[in-house]
Amino acid sequence: MKLGKQRVVSAALVMALAVGSISGAGAAEAAKKASLKTKKMTLSVKKSQKIVIKNKLAKKKYTFKSSKASVAKVSKAGKVTGVKAGKAKISVYEENKKKPKKKKKIGTCSVVVNVKKDNTDNKATTAPVVTAVPVVTAPVVTAPAATAPAPTQDVPAVTEPAATAKPTIVPAYNTTTVDFDGSTSKVVESEITVPLTQAMLYGGICKISADFTQETGSEQELSVGYEGEYLNITLNGAYIKDKSVDPMSDATAFSCPSGETVHKEFSFEVPKYSYDFNLKLSGPAGVSFKVDNVTVQAMPFEDADYAGMVEASTRSTGNNARIKKAIEKARAGEDVTIAYLGGSITEGFAASETDNGDCYAEESYNQFKYNYGAGDGSNVHFINAGMSGTPSRLGIIRYERDVLAQMKHGQYPDILFIDFAVNDGGDCAEQYEGIIRTALEQGSAVVLMFVLYNNGNGRENDYKDFGEYYELAMVSPGSGMASAKKSAFDNWFYWPDGHPDVGGHRYMADCISKMFCTVDQEEAKVDNNTETKEPKKSKNFVGMKTLESSTDISKIDAVKSVTPGGFSVLKDSAQPTLQYIKNGVEKLPWFPDVWAHTSSSGSDSFKAEIKCNSILVAYKQAGSGFGKAECYVDGEYVGDLATSNGGWNNAVVFTALSENTVKDHTLEIKMKEGDEKKPFTIYAIGYADSGEKAEYPD
């Protein structure tokens, strides 16, 4: 999740949630009146806190709206996150779930957002510190723990250890000790709560060990347990973005004789989609007891050596010169852009948050931003160019549009992650190398990210050869999982359809951060000059550019003309949309500007005159009812563009031309005989001209 995503859930909140989920008698429910418990809050940028509603009614729905989302945004569950310094108001509404909807405002929460990035917001004065025990040489950077508002009772929170510089933090899954104001012991009156959200962010096994003593003169019943919330996900074969939040709790009681020290060990299996996790040590009301030597061992699944898994995931740091340069720029306050180009996993499928904050790409960016960015880290920028169903052939077509055209600081990304080892079926190696060479020749640091799908390594064993040839950093989560128990790892890592789940995204983000930490501690190498290096397979696709119906060809010398012919419809709404917000647009179609043929378009061909050496055509793979088209280059038939019943409106890429020499070519696409009255959509065209650097036109 995004940095600082932690909250303390008090017993009162858990009870409120529990009550809110029970449909009682109508008279009892009518007697309740929902109101705001949280009426004001102060946050730092990227820190979060949840709005608490008292007396929530089961038959009602509660919604939230920010007066200034650019200052403080609010999720559908009422989680407020600071975006930038300023003030905002969050209005909270109650409405009927059944039609017709009746909506009323039940209150407003005032929010003040500060720029500071430390962890001083709303700290409890008696908060114990959970100190991580280092287990790796180059620790993985994990988001610092945020804290809840100062409670009315003694509910301590986790705080970040004081340091003169930004700390390097070990993996969240680790053995930790609880520090009570510099002491290992604490005298507790009735109960104490220790937030451990960051340690158990996505569930797993939590083992507690502690010593208990009480001097009341009689035997007392104490308990160790947890409480919090988890995301209630319905596994009905489809990923659900709008998820409710349900309370969770568990506790185990034990007897503690007076005057004796009792050592107890407990193990809790925290739900996979945990949203908050708080350790509770409790006794009877008014009874004081002493707790000592509290240790918490967190792991994603039984016997998992998480730190070892992360340690083993760095396949190579390659020639580290460009990554080290990006880190130095970030620390110096210069603008640094990290871009991620890949498929559905990079896009964030099965990452739990509606704002895509759990996606490995955004989480690893946030970790880099926190660890190396200057001040509040606003000098570090992020581009997610993930799109479901994208192999390298489509990735190289999209690179100019979805990476270079998104650059707001500089011309090329400082660091580019490439994730196509899973999606590349058949022979996509030439296009994969084309992306690598294009980015390297533009001066970017290239990292090969070998994500995992369906418990397989995909093309990693093939594509590692490119990493070794070009001396690239390579991150291999699969290498890290080698020592893990397969069935337990699969259950924690994967969504039911085979995509990495929220736990898998967290693991991959930690693997990336481990690579950055390793590079940061290495001696800098001399940057290698890739422009003089011969290609491993081909350079025919280097510098590929994107051609869509919205492209202004008057600014592009290589494109002489485009004649749509019967492909004159420039929009196609029947296509998937992005899972993240791009350029301020939610649910943006993959290809907003197409050339589409309809049942009434006629038989005229699509033609484009382009000076180039390579051409790729991306077209819509739809179900029944769509037609087939024929592709010609310079009047010669080069192949069919055929749809299939297995299509889901995804993009399929056809190689129309691949050669070394740049010259004028005419691309022609026309409907196959007999299919002139059937629909067909050209999503985009990619063209390359002699491996020149891909410079996006003004």
Indicate if the pLDDT at residue 157 is higher than 70.
Answer: no
Indicate if the pLDDT at residue 661 is higher than 80.
Answer: yes
pLDDT tens-digit series, residues 593-632: 999 999 999 899 999 999 999 999 999 998 778 899 999 9
239 vs 438, which has greater pLDDT?
438
pLDDT tens-digit series, residues 218-237: 999 999 988 877 666 554 44
Extract the tokens encoding 231.
Answer: 């995301």
Extract the tokens encoding 262.
Answer: 């009792």
Extract the tokens encoding 174.
Answer: 């680790």
DSSP 318-371: -STHHHHHHHHHHHTT--EEEEEEESHHHHTTT-S-TT-TTSHHHHHHHHHHHH
| Residue 469 binned pLDDT confidence (cut-offs 50, 70, 90) | very high
Torsion on CA atoms 685, 688, 693, 696, rounded to nearest 10: -30
Check residue 207 and give its pLDDT. Answer: 92
Residue from 448, 374, 450, 383 nearest 414 by CA: 383
CB-CB contact of 170 with 136 (8 Å): yes
Hey, how many other C-beta atoms are within 10 angstroms of the C-beta on 63? 13
Check residue 343 and give its pLDDT. Answer: 93
Please report, as a single letter, which amino acid is at residue 200: M
Hey, how many other C-beta atoms are within 10 angstroms of the C-beta on 129? 20
Indicate if the pLDDT at residue 402 is higher than 50.
Answer: yes
pLDDT tens-digit series, residues 268-324: 888 777 767 788 999 999 999 999 999 999 899 988 889 889 999 999 999 999 999
pLDDT tens-digit series, residues 546-557: 999 999 999 999
Check residue 457 and give its pLDDT. Answer: 60
Indicate if the pLDDT at residue 135 is higher than 70.
Answer: no
Where b means 16+ CB within 10 Å and e means fewer, 422-460 reads: bbbeeebbbbbbbbbbbbbbbbbbbbbbbbbbeeebbbb
Ranking 3-7, 133-137, 403-407, 473-477 by mean pLDDT, the lowest is 3-7
For strands 473-475 and 445-449, give the pairing.
parallel
Q: Which residue has the tokens 């002699």?
A: 690
Ranking 167-171, 329-333, 481-485 by mean pLDDT, the lowest is 167-171
Report, as an integer, the average pLDDT of 579-605.
90
Indicate if the pLDDT at residue 423 is higher than 50.
Answer: yes
pLDDT tens-digit series, residues 257-277: 999 999 999 998 887 777 677
Report, as an integer, the average pLDDT of 338-365.
84
Report, as an integer, the average pLDDT of 456-463.
82
Indicate if the pLDDT at residue 34 is higher than 90.
Answer: no
Q: Angle 429-441/392-402 helices, nearest 10 degrees?
A: 30
Residue 183 DSSP class: B
Hey, how many other C-beta atoms are within 10 angstroms of the C-beta on 257? 12
Indicate if the pLDDT at residue 69 is higher than 90.
Answer: no
Cα gap 39→450, rounded to integer Å: 45
Cα gap 403→444, rounded to integer Å: 12
Indicate if the pLDDT at residue 16 is higher than 60.
Answer: no
| Residue 358 binned pLDDT confidence (cut-offs 50, 70, 90) | confident
- The percent of residues in the chain predicted with pLDDT above 90, rounded, is 49
Check residue 13 and give its pLDDT. Answer: 22
Indicate if the pLDDT at residue 492 is higher than 90.
Answer: no
Check residue 77 and give its pLDDT. Answer: 80
Check residue 657 and give its pLDDT. Answer: 97
Please report, as a single letter, which amino acid is at residue 385: A
Residues 6+ apart with CB under 8 A from 541: 396, 430, 431, 433, 434, 614, 616, 658, 686, 688
Residue from 360, 336, 346 nearest 408 by CA: 336
CB-CB contact of 76 with 107 (8 Å): no
Check residue 14 and give its pLDDT. Answer: 25
**Mean pLDDT across the chain, nearest whole number?**
81
- Containing 464, the helix (H) or strand (E) segment is helix 460-469
Hey, how many other C-beta atoms are within 10 angstroms of the C-beta on 254? 13
Cα gap 380→410, rounded to integer Å: 12
Phi, psi dihedrals of residue 207, rounded to the nearest 5°: -110, 130
pLDDT tens-digit series, residues 335-349: 999 999 999 999 988
Ranking 182-191, 200-209, 536-545, 593-602 by mean pLDDT, the lowest is 200-209
Cα gap 564→551, rounded to integer Å: 13
| Residue 238 binned pLDDT confidence (cut-offs 50, 70, 90) | very low
Greatest alpha-carbon pair distance for the chain in Å reads 99
3-state SS class at 669? strand
Residue positions counted in the chain: 698
Check residue 132 and give its pLDDT. Answer: 39
3-state SS class at 523? coil
> Of the segments 199-203, 343-347, 582-586, 646-650, which one has the largest average pLDDT value?
343-347
Cα gap 84→45, rounded to integer Å: 6
Hey, how many other C-beta atoms are within 10 angstroms of the C-beta on 659? 12
CB-CB contact of 189 with 143 (8 Å): no
Report, as an integer, the average pLDDT of 158-168.
38
Indicate if the pLDDT at residue 127 is higher than 50.
Answer: no
